[in-house]
């Protein structure tokens, strides 16, 4: 959020507002963030250690048999006290009738970086650094790369992003990804369709050698090459759990694995790796454990996700490429922010919304938004998908306040072929 505030000040002059960004107190920004996050984390840890009817084993666990794990305890008094074992105990074995695997994922480090022995950061550490980098070199072109480029670029860092795909955010709908890549290239040194072939330390930091023959030097290296599920670290196959080809634990919709009495949730089972989805999964597993005769299932068809970059990116449902791969017919509606009253006032030339619709049922199959507050605008579309509302009902039954940016939602739905008469849509340029 602090980056958004700084960017607002820096771009104020175009609207006739004279403001100047005199500096960024990175230490205050960082401490404000972790001054809130760390106590919450510590409180959760304390709850797990001291909660009623619970016993916490603080350490690294690996399965050794059916619903049985061996835990290598941390070498401190707290670990042995929490586990209720004698001081000096290093390993314990724990078994249970029901086991929930919720061990998350870890940052993937390419061999070219790991083998080089150079200092680097991941999403786990980059926000805790002491000073803003002069030149941040980012390996990877996904959401972490996009978000961290926004944060540190806004605060004054020169940013270079090196991505192997032809566009940034390659998992997004092609049109969103293409537009986003174009927008990013206006602000940062963006190298797409390029791989890093070697990394070495330099007197000022690091140098990344690229497949196109170029060399990028910076003082800080961020590896944002994705996150890998911890299934292999836990040796889950020893309890009969199956992993997919990418290492994710396979479950059914009730979040049961193929091993009796073993459940899984969160990033270890779902490549989307979304906190809000993991929260819902945790609720379902809790219910299903307590109510084995009344199992509830997860519905992932209308789960939104957001990239908190600049501009923001939000999506729910399927992309155009996914629908084409399925051979599923669809209709398309597109609308620029600038064709709305609020977008016109913002002088917006980037914002864009796109919807994909079933031609027979008129139900949403997917929605994609690029631009200011996309994280908010995606929600009514996600609700429409989850509740089974037709786009015509969402566009014409709901009344949208003028001149709010939410009119973009109404307008993009009315751009779908066969939509009801638009009425008084705002068309500043006759579009």
Residue positions annotated with a catalytic role: 402
Question: 145: helix, coil or strand?
Answer: helix
Instruction: Give the closest residue to 144 by CA, choosing from 214, 206, 222.
Output: 222
Residue with tokens 């961020």: 222
The DSSP H or E segment spanning 123 is: none
Q: What would the DSSP string read from start to end of 22-84?
A: ----HHHHHHHHHHHHHHHHHHHHHHHHHSTT-----EEEEEEETTEEEEEE-SSHHHHHHHT
Residue with tokens 């001291």: 50
Cβ(194)–Cβ(212) below 8 Å? yes
Instruction: Give the closest residue to 257 by CA, choosing from 228, 231, 287, 276.
Output: 231
**Alpha-carbon gap, residue 58 to 159, rounded angstroms:** 38
332 to each of 31, 114, 366, 368, 395, how far by Cα in Å? 45, 44, 10, 11, 15
């Amino acid at each position: 959020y602090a980056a958004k505030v700084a960017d607002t000040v820096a771009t104020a002059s175009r609207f006739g507002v004279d403001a100047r960004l005199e500096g960024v107190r990175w230490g205050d920004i960082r401490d404000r963030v972790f001054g809130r996050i760390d106590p919450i984390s510590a409180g959760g840890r304390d709850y797990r250690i001291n909660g009623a009817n619970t016993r916490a084993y603080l350490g690294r666990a690996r399965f050794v048999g059916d619903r049985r794990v061996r835990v290598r305890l941390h070498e401190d008094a707290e670990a042995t006290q929490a586990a209720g074992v004698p001081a000096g105990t290093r390993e314990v074995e724990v078994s249970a009738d029901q086991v929930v695997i919720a061990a998350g994922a870890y940052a993937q480090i390419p061999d070219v970086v790991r083998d080089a022995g150079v200092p680097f950061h991941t999403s786990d550490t980059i926000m805790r650094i002491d000073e803003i980098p002069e030149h941040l070199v980012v390996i990877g072109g996904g959401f972490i790369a996009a978000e961290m480029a926004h944060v540190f670029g806004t605060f004054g860092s020169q940013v270079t992003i090196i991505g192997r795909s032809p566009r940034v955010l390659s998992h997004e709908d092609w049109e969103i990804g293409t537009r986003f890549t174009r927008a990013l290239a206006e602000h940062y040194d963006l190298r797409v369709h390029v791989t890093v072939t070697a990394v070495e330390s330099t007197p000022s930091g690091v140098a990344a050698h690229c497949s196109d023959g170029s060399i990028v030097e910076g003082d800080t290296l961020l590896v944002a090459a994705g996150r890998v599920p911890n299934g292999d670290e836990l040796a889950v196959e020893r309890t009969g759990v199956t992993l997919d080809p990418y290492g994710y634990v396979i479950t059914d919709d009730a979040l049961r694995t193929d091993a009796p009495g073993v459940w899984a949730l969160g990033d270890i089972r779902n490549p989307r790796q979304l906190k809000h989805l993991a929260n819902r999964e945790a609720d379902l597993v809790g219910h299903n454990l307590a109510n084995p005769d009344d199992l509830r299932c997860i519905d992932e068809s209308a789960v939104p996700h957001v990239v908190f970059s600049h501009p923001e990116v939000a999506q729910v449902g399927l992309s155009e490429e996914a629908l084409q791969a399925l051979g599923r017919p669809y209709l398309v509606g597109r609308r620029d922010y600038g064709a709305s009253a609020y977008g016109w006032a913002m002088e917006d030339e980037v914002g864009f919304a796109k919807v994909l619709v079933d031609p027979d049922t008129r139900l949403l199959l997917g929605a994609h938004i690029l631009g200011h507050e996309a994280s908010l605008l995606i929600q009514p579309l996600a609700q429409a998908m989850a509740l089974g509302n037709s786009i015509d009902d969402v566009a014409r039954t709901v009344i949208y306040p003028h001149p709010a940016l939410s009119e973009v939602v109404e307008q993009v739905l009315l751009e779908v072929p066969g939509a009801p008469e638009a009425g008084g849509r705002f068309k500043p340029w006759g579009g």
